[in-house]
Amino acid sequence: MRNEFTDLSAVRSSRLARSIIAPVHDPEELYRYSDDITVEEDASISLHAATALHSKPSSIQGVPWGVKQIRAPKVWSVSTGHRIKIGVIDTGADYQHPDLRYSLARGINLLNRSLLPHDDNGHGTHIAGTIAAANSTAGMIGVAPRSLIYPVKAFDHNGSAFVSDIVLGIDWCVRNRVDIINMSFGMKTRSKALLDVVNRAYQAGIVIVASSGNDGKRRSIDYPARYQQTISVGATDKNRRIASFSNRGAFVDVYAPGDKIVSSWVQGKHHEMSGTSMATSHVSGAIALLLAKHPGLSPAEIKTLVKRSTVPLRARKTSTAKNKIRGGEIDALKLMQEGGG
Q: pLDDT (tens digit, 9 = 90+) per residue, 123-161? A: 999 999 999 999 998 899 999 999 999 999 999 999 999
Choosing from 123, 126, 270, 282, which is the catalytic residue? 123
Q: What pLDDT is recorded for position 247?
A: 97
Q: What pLDDT is recorded for position 47?
A: 96
Choosing from 19, 54, 90, 99, which is the catalytic residue? 90
277 catalytic, yes or no?
A: yes
Query: pLDDT tens digits, the chain, 341 residues: what are they?
Result: 555 545 544 444 444 545 556 666 676 666 566 556 677 888 999 999 865 444 456 677 899 999 999 999 999 999 999 999 999 999 999 999 999 999 999 999 999 999 999 999 999 999 999 999 999 988 999 999 999 999 999 999 999 999 999 999 999 999 999 999 999 999 999 999 999 999 999 999 999 999 999 999 998 999 999 999 999 999 999 999 999 999 999 999 999 999 999 999 999 999 999 999 999 999 999 999 999 999 999 999 999 999 999 999 998 776 455 556 779 999 999 999 999 87
Phi-psi region of 295 (alpha: psi -120 to 50; beta: other; left: phi over 0): alpha
Domains parsed from the chain with CATH numbers: 1-39 (no CATH), 44-312+319-338 (3.40.50.200)
C-beta pairs of 189-194 under 8 Å, 24+ apart in sequence: 189/43, 189/223, 190/223, 190/226, 191/40, 191/43, 191/163, 191/223, 192/38, 192/40, 193/19, 193/38, 193/40, 193/163, 193/164, 193/167, 194/163, 194/166, 194/167, 194/223, 194/224
Q: pLDDT (tens digit, 9 = 90+) per residue, 231-254? A: 999 999 999 999 999 999 999 999
